[in-house]
Structure 1
Amino acid sequence: MVSKMLYRSIVGVVMSVSSCYALATDGLFLEGFGAVSRGMGGTAVAHYVGPASMMVNPATMDLSDATGEVLLGFDFITTDISASNRVTGERVSSSTHSNNRGPYVAPQLAFTRKFSNWTVGAGMFAQAGVGVEYGKSSFLSRSDVGGTGYAAGADTGLENASRLFILDIPFAVSFKVNDRFSIGGSLDAKWTGLNLDYLLGMNQLGSLAQNGRASGSLIGLISTLPDPRGVHLSVSKNKEISSGADGWGYSGKLGLLYKVAPTTNLGVSYMFRSHMNDLKGRGTVTAVDGIIGNVPIDGEVSFLNFNSPAKLDVGLSHQVTDKFLLALDVSRVFWKDALKDIEVGFTSDAGGVDLKLPQNAKDQTIVAIGASYAATQNLTVRAGYRQATQPFNDEGLLALIPAVLQKHASLGFSYNFSKSSRFDAAYSHAFERSMTNRSAYNTSSPVRSSIAQDNFVIAYNYSF
């Protein structure tokens, strides 16, 4: 009986970890790269947004009037996240007291250079990043008693927190075929870092064990424990950048830009699904027992096939007047192909568990509109809006990573200090999104998660 409980517990931990794909952005992509794009609702497929163009459609790098450009800036991401127990009414808000969680500061670095009809560039951008910090004393850290979920039980003193960060390093090139047509592409190195601290109750673990998609020899490790209450997984580092589990991989993009009319551009780009090495790190599985307390088991956690989905972008831009620009982008993110199954494993000296978990994510559609207006010779102002469909079901999400935000509004501006020196800034607000998870696979009791987000971008652009 105890061996069966242990098996269910380990399986439950691994299954819950594998659900942490959902982010507080459009998914695994920030809502626009660079301050110019961010200020215009994330549009970037058919108009020039500075060196950050290489992150969406490398063909638009050809639109630059400069021989070369340098971009230096950063993203500043703040979130308002909370979780509430639908049974007891208890509520916990994410805090920012740890280096492990936000606010998040991420780099924006890029360089481009023109050689005749060729433009080459390289950069480093945060592709995505978010997390939560619920601490050690909320209802999420309470052990389960007799299948009652969060409603009863003792405080375990175990952390509930998460952080996911993806860094994209593109090497891009564009070629001007003629005055109306340009093509481009990039090869992108990617680094992903993940922290996770999560407690699962026994009723949750019992439901997870019925899935039947787990195998391994880690059975009977707690054969002497008389009163199992749950299992806690910790794979985390309290550092600004380094993470509990991480790995490198690669992806790429192809793009084209066609001048439909003297003032109208059509852009198309395709980002390939990434190919990541397994994310690996040392972690601890802690068996929670009602009589003898917490029993930690050290080992290695692996996240297999932790890939970003492919994405197709189509955009139009129209120069209404010399001062006024309008842009429209439509994107399709192919989550369904990227998240059919996720394989996760925990290994230790005593054995291991492997899991193949179906996710059943849906493809996502994103529509973005943006406008810019040259108010003076030195000042340009921008505004935008984007809306996305939800690729995940309520039942597939954890309280630790609550939702994919769907509606963003943005403002931005640029100020030219000289012909070669410019300051860019943008602000993006993600409207509150709430989801309620009642699935016994991913929560011990029904939990409602709410999230809103404010992102800021500042950058200095130098051209020569």
Structure 2
Amino acid sequence: MISSRKFIFISILIWTYLVPKSQTPLEAFHGIMQPAFGARQAGMGGAFQAVGGSVMDLESNPSHLARVQKTKWELGSSFHLPTIEYNDTYIDTNPNRSYQNNMVENPKAILPYIGIIKPITESISIGFAMYAQGGGGGNFKNIKRITPDGRSINDTFGNTVPLIGERNLAVEDLNFRFMTMKSTFGVGIKQGKFALGLGLDLVYGFMQLKRTYQDETRSLTIPGGIHYQSDPAYTVGGKIGFSYDLTQNIRVAYSYTTRNVLPLDGTMYVDSYLPERAFATRVSRYMIWPDKHIAGISFHNDRWIFDLDLKYIPWSQSFNSSKFRLEDVWVRTPFGVETNAFQFNLNWKNQTIIAIGAEYKWNETYKTRVGYSYGNNIIPASGVSPMLGASIEHHLSTGGSISWNNTTFHLACEYGFPKKTNGGKTSDWTLSHSVFSTSEIHPLQFSYQKTMSVFSLYLGMEQYI
């Protein structure tokens, strides 16, 4: 058994030591949102809206809290292991300006969760949970490039550089990270066959973007690179959910989670040899984490649980563009002028996700699960980039549980099948590598693509107190 005081202490330890490690890049779930929250849910492909009974109902539908009759705590984590393959080609009439890249990255992401549910009366329960919501990123090094303005190293630095000075080739490094985490306080109230739940979300987010250029020997840093780091961002949101038992075996449910506006003001360094630019300038910006609708229906008897969920996420209202506004006019454009404002055009589309899952109870000790989810690709060719450039459509999962006394261990494995996306000729990524001046604009000479898959392992433990 574990006391409430010990539970709070464990929560702080997990959030202090595991969450910082999870700041490695992760990508390409359904957009940048995990397909499932919790090990039991993951085994059923994320189809859990009309099932309930987990601490992670605080993420999806807090009305199910009211159906928990004994105090329980739960903790666990997902371990995501994506494979990211990036390829690009630039073909020029001058072979010395042509290049090709073929890169494979295997980042890792650890996203923990922990929570507790406590009944107050026979019809009212409260709960609290902390969990990683989602995120995205990319980390690529030594990408072959032409210098940002197409000039030789000698012309860039206004000096004669031995051996490499006449060349205009460079290497580009790109590192992007973004993550949101939530703490949710919730209450569930049950009256007969109907249950209503409310949740208050306290949201934390951060973002980091580094993009730098160096000569081929990595001896010189070419001006124009950017280093952005957001301040810690905090905001609030909420959710409401209900569930209703149509019959003894059939339940329907619906929930709505509000969008979150994250103030991602921060600082930015711009690579330059001018002494007045040796310090960071302030950046003003924000990002909207989208709202979410989920409806579900489940069937259950003594052995089986089946659930079907429909999810709708209006990404287009949040991820149309990402704007940065600097206090100083330091960012160089491909046309040679400098500006204090720039943006990434994402052009994401709205998404409908369907998830279906089943659980079979062999006996009081063992349960097995299987699930599948599909979400349409939300990123058009004009929004593809190594940073956020693919949305896996098909996920297949399986899992199970072992229980004894008041303790249960959950395990689930999930695989997101490879998804390939081709970049467009008018995307920001294409233009940033094919526009060198007002007289050198060659988007047709640059092409790129990105392929992604992900294997995920979920572990969870719950115990009634």
Instruction: Name the TM tier (shorter chain).
Output: 0.7 to 0.9
Give, in whole Å, the separation in 1 of the partners of 2:274 and 2:421: 33
Match in the other structure for 1:315: 296
The one-letter code matched in structure 2 to 1:346 is: L
Cα distance change of structure 1 residues 167 and 440 upon mapping to structure 2, 3 Å threshold: closer
Structure 2 residue 358 is matched with structure 1 residue 371: yes
Superposition deviation, residue 401 in structure 1: 2.4
Secondary structure in 1 aligned to 2:382?
helix
Q: Confirm or deny that 1:162 pairs with 2:176.
A: yes
* Matched residue, 1:215: none
State the alpha-carbon separation in 2 of the partners of residues 456 and 162 from structure 1: 24
Point out where structure 2 has 5 or more consecutive residues left out of the alignment: 1-24, 91-98, 153-166, 215-220, 332-338, 434-445
Rounded Cα–Cα distance in structure 2 between residues aligned with 1:91 and 1:295: 38
Query: Post-superposition shift, 1:295?
Result: 11
Q: Tell me if the contact between 1:299 and 1:346 (Cα under 8 Å) persists in the aligned partners.
A: no
Shift of 1:74: 1.4
Q: Give 1:188 shift.
A: 0.4
What are the superposed Cα offsets for residues 393-431 of structure 1, whole Å, 9 maximum, x if unpaired?
A: 12112222221222111111111032x111111111111
Indicate conservation of the 8 Å contact 2:284/2:326, yes or no: no
- Contact residue 66 and residue 189 of structure 2 kept, 8 A: yes
In the alignment, which of 87, 97, 104 is matched to residue 84 of structure 1? 87
CA positional deviation for 1:275: 2.5
Structure ID, larger Rg: 2
Is this contact kept in 1: 2:325–2:342, CA < 8 A? yes
Q: Give % identity.
A: 19
* Cα distance in 2 between the residues matched to 1:408 and 1:317: 20
Provide, for residues 39-63 of structure 1, a one-character-per-residue CA deviation record: whole Å limited to 9, x for no partner: 1011121001511111001112223
Residues 1:130 and 1:427: Cα distance change in structure 2 (over 3 Å): farther
Provide Cα deviations, 1:405-461, integer angstroms capped at 9, x if missing partner. 22111111111032x111111111111111111335223132211111111111110
Matched, 1:110 2:124: no
Q: In the TM superposition, what is the alpha-carbon distance from 1:29 to its structure 2 partner?
A: 1.9
| Alignment pair present for 1:124 and 2:136 | no
The residue that corresponds to 1:347 in the other structure is 327
Q: Is the 8 A contact 1:380 1:413 kept in 2?
A: yes
Give the aligned partner of residue 77 of structure 2: 74
Aligned residue in 1 for 2:309: 329
TM-aligned CA deviation for residue 196 of structure 1: 1.5
**Does 2:415 align with 1:409?**
no
Superimposed CA distance per residue, residues 195-238 of structure 1 (whole angstroms, 9 cap, x where no aligned partner): 2222589xxxxxxxxxxxxxxxxxxxxxxxxxx977322225xx
Structure 1 residues 6-405: aligned runs within 5 Å: 23-64=27-68, 66-87=69-90, 88-95=99-106, 102-116=107-121, 117-135=123-141, 137-139=142-144, 143-144=147-148, 146=150, 153-156=168-171, 159-178=173-192, 180-199=193-212, 231-235=224-228, 245-276=231-262, 278-286=263-271, 298-300=279-281, 302=283, 304-319=285-300, 321-348=301-328, 353-355=340-342, 359-405=346-392
* RMSD of aligned alpha carbons: 2.9
Three-state SS of the structure 1 residue aligned to 2:316 is: helix
Using structure 1 for the length normalisation, give the TM-score: 0.77
2:63 match: secondary structure: helix
CA distance in 2 between partners of 1:394 and 1:279 (Å): 26
Whole-Å Cα distance in 2 between the matches of residues 462 and 435 of structure 1?
43
1:256-288 deviations in Å (ceiling 9; x for gaps): 001111100000000111132x2133332225x
Correspondence for 2:418: 432
What whole-Å deviation, never above 9, does each CA across 1:323-358 have from its counterpart, x for those lacking one? 111100001101222234543223349797134666
Judge conservation of contact 1:170–1:187 (CA < 8 Å) in 2.
yes
Q: In structure 1, what is the equivalent of residue 10 of structure 2?
A: none
CA distance in 2, matches of 1:440, 1:371: 41
Q: CA distance change for structure 1 residues 147 and 36 in 2, over 3 Å: closer, same or farther? A: farther
State the AA in 1 paired with 2:105. Answer: S
Give 1:92 deviation, angstroms: 1.3
Give, as a single letter, the amino acid of the residue that structure 1 aligns with 2:450: S
The amino acid of 2:285's aligned partner reads L
* C-alpha distance in 2 between matches for 1:193 and 1:260: 42
How far, CA to CA, are the matches of 1:86 and 1:61 in structure 2? Answer: 53
CA contact (8 A) 1:188 1:252 kept: yes
Q: Which amino acid aligns with 1:163?
A: R
Q: Deviations over 1:2-34 (max 9, x none)?
A: xxxxxxxxxxxxxxxxxxx99422124211110
Report the count of equivalent residues. 390
CA distance 1:389–1:230, shift in 2 (3 Å): farther
Counterpart for residue 7 of structure 2? none
Amino acid at match of 2:419: R
